[in-house]
Amino acid sequence: MKIGLDVIPMSKLDEIILIGKRAEAYDFYCVLISDHVKNRALWVCLSALALNTKKIKIGSGITNPYSNHPALIAQNLATLDEIAKNRVICGIGAGDEEALKSIGIKRERPLTYVRESFGLIRAYLKGLREYEGKIFKLKNFKSNFTTIGNIPLFIGAQGKLMLKLAGEMGDGVLINSSNVNYCSEAIETVNLALKERRSLEFGFEYGTISPYSVANSYEEAKRIIAPIVGTVVAGCNDYVLQKHGIRIEDKERVLKAIESRDLELIRKSVKDDMIENFSVTGKPEDCLEKMEELKKIGISLFIGSLPSTKFIHDAMKLTKEKVLSYFQNKGES
């Protein structure tokens, strides 16, 4: 299993660069940067990582076509590829509904938005002049620079229709869950769509992206990651919550805590079943056990999402010593 990081860029840019350098030195597969308007800018962070690393893959984890026009996403990917050749990957999804709402953007027709953004990005990267969608279009368009276009595109997905879309169009899927049963069903949904495809340019990668916290005790790990898990729960629709055994009223409690901006209240609102379903959290052996369970059902890439606070360095070191080394010794990382 390949292990990557999805860094929530809450720290200054020089700290993000340090994290990227250490991730490369520790042999992580990739460093993705989450895309949220309240944190540091995605493409600036990725450019800094591209200039300060040599081999680790970098990319968006996960951008969206509401706050970022897909032509601009493609433009940034193509430019980034010039300084990080064959190292760029792109994760794209529907975005965090609550976060988009906070800047006045209504997340409507998410399936259409993601489908068309995917089509337009591919067209741009392949140098095509035309793309015709209901929402997004290229008309007699020609970029002033070229790219080979060998940038794998992943779809971040939870619900069935988005999972199906990942199988129809993506080079991979990043399932926003760590629940083994849910991920197993998600893979089945993706596979049904994959059977209808004629060809795969890059093969297909089955990945999960979820909050990740490894520490010397479960309580310590939970305290660090609970606010991030709360954000994930707050963004889940009723179907996803029901499939994960999370009650609607518990989600409402989390939403109210987030609105209060009281960090301790948020931590208290996030229950252990939320931590279990939407994160990989605990001591190194606990995290490793869960990753092994995910690997057995077909997950080949685990992306751990965590904030760029001081705790990330301890988590990376423990992961290197106890998790990455385990998979490397088995020849799987």
Task: Look at residue 266 and tell me if it is in a domain.
Answer: no
Contact 81, 88 (CB under 8 A): yes
Task: Look at residue 273 and tell me if it is in a domain.
Answer: no
Task: Please report the pLDDT score of residue 75 as a whole number.
Answer: 96
| Averaged pLDDT for residues 143-168 | 90
Give 52's contacts (C-beta < 8 A, 6+ positions apart). Answer: 17, 20, 21
Residue 333 has pLDDT above 80, yes or no: no
User: What confidence tens digit (pLDDT) does each residue in 68-90 have?
Assistant: 999 999 999 999 999 999 999 99
Task: Look at residue 226 and tell me if it is in a domain.
Answer: no
Task: Please report the pLDDT score of residue 330 as a whole number.
Answer: 80
Task: Look at residue 259 and tell me if it is in a domain.
Answer: no
User: What confidence tens digit (pLDDT) does each residue in 204-256 have?
Assistant: 999 999 999 999 999 999 999 999 999 999 999 999 999 999 999 999 999 99
**Token reading at 255:** 């939403």
Task: Please report the pLDDT score of residue 332 as a whole number.
Answer: 77
User: What confidence tens digit (pLDDT) does each residue in 253-280 have?
Assistant: 999 999 999 999 999 999 999 999 999 9
- Other C-beta atoms lying within 10 Å of the C-beta of residue 22: 17
CA gap 221, 280 in Å, rounded? 10
Task: Look at residue 310 and tell me if it is in a domain.
Answer: yes
CA gap 302, 32 in Å, rounded? 12
Task: Please report the pLDDT score of residue 220 as a whole number.
Answer: 96
Task: Please report the pLDDT score of residue 319 as a whole number.
Answer: 97
Question: Quick one: pLDDT band at residue 149, thresholds 50, 70, 90?
Answer: low
Question: For 91, phi and psi rounded to 5 degrees?
Answer: -105, 125
Task: Please report the pLDDT score of residue 331 as a whole number.
Answer: 81
**Token reading at 111:** 């399936």
Contact 170, 154 (CB under 8 A): yes
What are the C-alpha distances in Å from 266 to residues 65, 160, 228, 241? 29, 29, 10, 18
| Averaged pLDDT for residues 299-318 | 95
Task: Look at residue 295 and tell me if it is in a domain.
Answer: yes
Domain that holds residue 144: 2-221+280-329
**Token reading at 219:** 């309580």
CATH code of the domain in which 11 resides: 3.20.20.30
Least confident of 55-59, 123-127, 134-138: 123-127
Task: Please report the pLDDT score of residue 19 as a whole number.
Answer: 97
Q: In this structure, are strands 88-92 and 57-63 parallel, antiparallel, or unpaired?
A: parallel
Task: Please report the pLDDT score of residue 285 as a whole number.
Answer: 96
Task: Look at residue 79 and tell me if it is in a domain.
Answer: yes
Instruction: Give percent above pLDDT 70 in the chain.
Output: 99
Task: Look at residue 264 and tell me if it is in a domain.
Answer: no
Count of domains for the chain: 1
Task: Please report the pLDDT score of residue 179 as a whole number.
Answer: 96
User: What confidence tens digit (pLDDT) does each residue in 25-71 have?
Assistant: 999 999 999 999 999 999 999 999 999 999 999 999 999 999 999 99
Question: Quick one: pLDDT band at residue 107, thresholds 50, 70, 90?
Answer: very high
Contact 28, 5 (CB under 8 A): yes
Site of tokens 């792109």: 90
CA gap 59, 92 in Å, rounded? 10
Q: What is the pTM of this model?
A: 0.95
